[in-house]
């Protein structure tokens, strides 16, 4: 019985099975570097869509802002406060205190009408005081009466932020001659060039994760681009963004950290470029702590000790603009590949006496609770 002949491809055509995962090589490169992507690392999870979405929830706000220009409580006898938002957070009985003024007066809400609250001044043993226009009021508590009916629903609506994936790729073309000849200090020109291109891709990923701007749904005509740290903290979310022209000092940095803390975040990282890192290095030693890292690079690490008792690691990256500083929590940020699309190497085929390769990966950046991070640009250089 004759054996059926197997389908035979050309000897060089192994592209169907010849695909190398470069994640281990990338991990080694990350150990060598001291930058944002090396600090964050690549997450142990993957994106499953080009539009990477995640669900966020938050506790109800504990503050209300008096309408700007409203001076109803500028004296000590007025009893109506008009609020700009979050009026549903209070009910009859709520106790409040002017958060930013340093005043000691406590008021109690007696009635709600639209966006206005009628209050009792100088509640209990506190004394009525004059309050500034646009004051921010802390909700101390919402005491309830005996025999009360069921409380109103205060459920919050979950949000679904998203980022896009971005394709990163480099090509390598090596002639048969270039691979065959003896190169000083190199065992293989092909391996050497592939290593350099992967390092360039890692650098490009780092730049995108800092300066990238998010695009719409990608296609063959719309290039998918991911939103980086600056986009998430300075453009998409602006609640804790500052553009005041000033020098980065311990007071300025403490104010940024306090804004994160007030938003419910316990920040642990300060991301800056070289210029602002030099500013931090010039702070008095009472604000700084230096340790030796145990990674392969063995570089020294600075920490800033805030006046809230929080110690934050200072990460310097050459691609952060000279006037920018970002304060955030490390575990809220994830750099992750699209499923099966972490950096890999594959041949594109053989053309004449040359071998063509491509290094390709598709990544995005997830930033949970980015609205609680702090961003500052326009810092003096």
As a three-state string, the secondary structure of 343-379 is CEEEEEEEECCEEEEEEEEEEEEEECCHHHCEEECCE
Q: What is the pTM assigned to this prediction?
A: 0.80
- Phi/psi at 208 (5° precision): -65, -40
Cα–Cα distance between 373 and 220 in angstroms, integer? 34
Q: Are strands 241-242 and 106-113 parallel, antiparallel or unpaired?
A: unpaired
Cα–Cα distance between 99 and 36 in angstroms, integer? 36
Cα–Cα distance between 85 and 108 in angstroms, integer? 18
Residue 300 has a pLDDT of 52
Residue 31 has a pLDDT of 65
> Which residues touch 285 (CB under 8 Å, ≥6 apart)?
none
Q: How many CB atoms lie within 10 A of CB 279?
A: 18
Residue 217 has a pLDDT of 77
* Sequential pLDDT tens for the chain (381 residues): 344 444 444 444 444 545 677 777 777 777 667 789 999 999 999 999 999 999 988 888 888 888 877 778 888 999 999 998 788 889 999 999 998 777 899 999 999 999 999 999 999 999 999 998 888 899 999 999 898 887 888 888 888 999 999 999 998 887 777 677 766 666 778 788 888 888 899 999 999 999 999 987 777 788 999 999 999 999 999 989 999 999 999 999 999 999 999 888 999 999 999 999 999 988 877 676 666 555 544 445 588 999 988 999 999 999 999 999 999 999 999 999 999 999 988 888 777 888 888 899 999 999 999 999 999 999 998
Q: Are 155 and 89 in contact (CB under 8 A)?
A: no
Residue 110 has a pLDDT of 95
**Residue labelled with tokens 């691979």:** 179
Q: State which CATH number among 3.10.450, 3.40.50, 3.90.1690, 3.30.160 fits the domain covering 20-57+160-376.
A: 3.90.1690
Nearest by Cα to 345 from 170, 206, 177, 179: 170
Cα–Cα distance between 351 and 215 in angstroms, integer? 36
């Amino acid at each position: 019985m004759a054996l059926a002949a197997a389908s035979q491809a050309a000897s060089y055509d192994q592209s169907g099975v010849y695909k190398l995962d470069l994640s281990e090589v990338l991990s080694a490169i990350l150990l060598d570097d001291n930058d944002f992507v090396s600090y964050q690392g690549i997450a142990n999870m993957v994106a499953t869509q080009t539009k990477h979405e995640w669900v966020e929830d938050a506790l109800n706000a504990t503050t209300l802002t008096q309408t700007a220009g409203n001076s109803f409580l500028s004296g000590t006898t007025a009893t109506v406060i008009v609020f700009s938002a979050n009026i549903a957070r209070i009910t009859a009985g709520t106790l409040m205190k002017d958060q930013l003024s340093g005043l000691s007066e406590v008021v109690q809400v007696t009635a709600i009408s639209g966006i206005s609250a009628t209050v009792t001044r100088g509640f209990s043993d506190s004394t009525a005081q004059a309050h500034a226009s646009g004051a921010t009021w802390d909700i101390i508590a919402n005491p309830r009466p005996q025999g009360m009916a069921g409380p109103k629903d205060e459920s919050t609506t979950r949000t679904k932020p998203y980022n896009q994936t971005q394709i990163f790729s480099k090509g390598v073309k090596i002639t048969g001659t270039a691979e065959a000849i003896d190169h000083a200090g190199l065992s293989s020109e092909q391996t050497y060039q592939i290593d350099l291109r992967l390092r360039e891709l890692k650098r490009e990923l780092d730049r995108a994760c800092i300066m990238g701007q998010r695009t719409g749904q990608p296609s063959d005509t719309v290039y998918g681009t991911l939103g980086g740290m600056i986009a998430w903290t300075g453009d998409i979310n602006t609640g804790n963004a500052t553009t005041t022209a000033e020098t980065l000092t311990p007071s300025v940095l403490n104010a940024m950290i306090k804004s994160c803390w007030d938003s419910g975040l316990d920040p642990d990282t300060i991301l800056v470029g070289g210029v602002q890192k030099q500013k931090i290095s010039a702070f008095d030693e009472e604000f700084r702590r230096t340790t030796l890292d145990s990674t392969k690079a063995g570089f020294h690490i600075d920490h800033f000790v805030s006046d809230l008792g929080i110690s934050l690691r200072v990460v310097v990256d050459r691609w952060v603009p000279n006037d920018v500083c970002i304060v955030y929590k490390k575990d809220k940020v994830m750099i992750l590949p699209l499923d099966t699309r972490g950096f890999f190497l594959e041949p594109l085929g053989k053309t004449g006496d040359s071998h063509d390769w491509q290094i390709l990966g598709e990544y995005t950046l997830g930033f949970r609770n980015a609205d609680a991070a702090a961003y500052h640009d326009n810092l003096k250089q």
